[in-house]
Structure 1
Amino acid sequence: MTETIPLPAAAPNRPRTVAASPATLEAEAVSAWFGDHKVLDRVSLHMPALEVTALIGPSGCGKSTFLRILNRMHELIGSASLAGRVLLDGEDIYDRGRRITRARREIGMVFQKPNPFPAMSLYDNVLAGLKLNGIKAARDGRDDLVEECLTKAGLWREVKDRLRQPGGALSGGQQQRLCIARSLAVRPRVLLMDEPCSALDPTSTRRIEETIADLKEEVTIVIVTHNMQQAARVSDHCAFFLAEQGTPGVVVEHGPTDEMFNSPQDSRTADYVNGRFG
């Protein structure tokens, strides 16, 4: 079954909104395993609507695993299992009556490495997510939808005259913004980002960060980053993950970003954000 996305009418001089209603995301006592290996232990975290939550911590502490749990991508790995609940506005996305495609449509993902379809045009790349999710865009509204999403991703001005060129022709930073535009086309309520700037130069990183600042007015964002300066710049809240001496990853501390960086409650948080380990 396909679903048609109606395009909202825009008032004069007012941009159309991409997202459906933004949502609060809540993890309750989430534990995760790969086979017999436990990688997360009872992680609970509140991720407020219309704010950016940064997941920080050293490599191997379970941040990316936790991020993938938030839109059921954890299930793609055969040996993976989990306990606990992930609530999107109070509804468990792992409920047996809830379709996995619905969860992944409402909670979009932008990966560490840009992954546009290289031979597909920029125009078709933006619309590709609709096809993958069984969503049909009204034919007479596709041009507007492409422009809207590319604008929200901070890419429209750079590519508006070459929409029929292949996605692989863009720079790395432009490809990442194209992937953001593709994610926005299905109107997610939450957007997950797994180190979206790790492979980018400083200029491209700045543009992605500007895009994040604009998007949080419409979409709830959760981002994994190893860059403490970036976490301080883009996020409203932080959660510090840590796995010590072979134990599963846990959240040591979480709270408003200013407090996490300037007056953390745990000495391990202070050591990490000040670069003393990790």
Structure 2
Amino acid sequence: MTSVTETETTAVLPPPHPGAPSGARPATLEARSVSAWFGTHQVLAQVCLTMPAHRVTALIGPSGCGKSTFLRVLNRMHELTASAAMAGAVLLDGEDIYDRGRRITHARRQIGMVFQKPNPFPSMSIHDNVLAGLKMNGIRTSRGERDMLVEECLTKAGLWKEVRDRLRQPGGALSGGQQQRLCIARSLAVRPRVLLMDEPCSALDPTSTRRIEQTIGELSSDVTIVIVTHNMQQAARVSDNCAFFLAEQGTPGGIVEHGPTEAMFERPQDPRTADYVNGRFG
């Protein structure tokens, strides 16, 4: 078991090359024998999963089975908790993000995160919210490049047409669904290769949920997406692949079954998977 409580200073990263493609090349993310603890309490045991590039992978399972912890392990956010520890490896196109020579900030720039509750900076303008990640990473760009990036990311997040005439208004004045799409735009601005989403629609109304799902579908060609959801219909709609997590009788969470979403829902191999996707427990 390896402690992961070490902290690092923010890296100054080079700006994206002007005229470069709209995003970095999507990456395959692979978890190899990942286990995780909070103090002496083990929450994940020997999780192995490949999340292919250009695909949406949904993580499903009842509450308390370790899905969100696994998501946080994937971009080194797990270690923000003082008692956290992990073992195993997380490979981004074959390179372990936990190698000693790799900076935490570099991993988090390549593997972005959208949280369950929208968290824009409420007093910061919509325009500045999108660019917040660049400032945090020390990325310098010209004003023209920043304006183009704001439009590009808001367009990709499905928000540009709704806010283009009020970019200088506070991000906190947007509706809940708009705030979540603003957070997606903010994540995209640093050009991640993978985007993690932890129940991004759980606090949203059906109309906003439908728009976020549409955005996920549009983004999958530009970025690898891993989404935690408790909504089985949503998992079936938005994902290409699915992994079913379960923690039974006080044991740590693990994957019962994973594979193409259609097969997981229509031809599951494990009876526990069939029971869960058909609403018989959880």
Give yes or no for TM over 0.5: yes
C-alpha contact (below 8 Å) 1:7/1:145 kept by paired residues: no
SS in 2 for 1:3: coil
Correspondence for 1:8: 19
Residue deviations 1:121-150 (CA, integer Å, cap 9, x gap): 000000001111221223321111000000
Q: Which runs of structure 2 are paired with 1:57-76 in the superposition (5 Å)?
A: 57-76=61-80
- Which residue of 66, 85, 92 corresponds with 2:89? 85
2:227 counterpart of 1:223:
yes
The equivalent position to 2:153 in structure 1, one of 141, 149, 163, is 149
In structure 2, the gaps of 5 or more residues are 1-11
Structural mapping, 1:112-131, within 5 Å: 112-131=116-135
Query: Aligned to 1:182, which of 174, 186, 204?
Result: 186
The structural deviation recorded for 1:7 is 3.1
Matched letter for residue 142 of structure 1: R
The answer (yes or no) to whether the contact 1:67–1:194 under 8 Å persists in 2 is: yes
1:272 maps to what in 2?
276
Superposed displacement of residue 5, structure 1: 2.0
Distance 1:126 1:141 in 2: 13
Amino acid of the residue matched to residue 94 of structure 1? Y
1:237 counterpart = 2:241: yes
The equivalences for 1:133-212 within 5 A come to 133-212=137-216
1:14 alignment counterpart: none
Once the 2 structures are TM-superposed, how far is the Cα of residue 2 of structure 1 from its aligned partner?
Answer: 4.5
Letter in 1 for 2:17: P
| C-alpha distance in structure 1 between counterparts of 2:206 and 2:99, whole Å | 41
Matched residue type, 2:213:
E
Shift of 1:277: 0.3
> Which residue identity lines up with residue 44 of structure 2 in the other structure?
L
Q: Which residue in the other structure is 2:5 paired with? A: none
Deviations 1:146-169 (A, max 9, x none): 000000000000000000000000
Code of the residue aligned with 2:178 in structure 1: it is: Q
Residue equivalent to 1:257: 261
Root mean square deviation, CA, Å: 0.8
Is the partner of 1:203 in helix, strand or coil?
A: helix
Aligned length: 271
Secondary structure at the aligned position of 1:192 is classed as strand
SS in structure 2 at match of 1:112 = coil
Q: Deviations over 1:169-211 (max 9, x none)?
A: 0000000000000000000000000000000000000000000
Q: Cα deviation per residue 1:58-99 (whole Å; 9 max; x = unaligned)?
A: 000000000000000001001000000000000000000001
The 1-side partners of 2:127 and 2:104 are apart by 27
The SS at the match of 2:255 is strand
State the identity %.
79
Query: 8 Å contact 1:6–1:138 — kept in the other structure?
Result: no
Instruction: Measure, in 1, the Cα distance between the counterparts of 2:187 and 2:92.
Output: 18
Q: TM-score, normalised by structure 1?
A: 0.96
TM-score when scaled to structure 2? 0.95
Partner of 1:180, secondary structure, is helix
The amino acid that maps onto 1:102 is H
**Alignment pair present for 1:44 and 2:44:** no
What is the aligned partner in structure 1 of residue 101 from structure 2? 97
Q: Counterpart of 2:50 in 1: which secondary structure?
A: strand
Mean Cα deviation higher: 127-136 or 175-184: 127-136
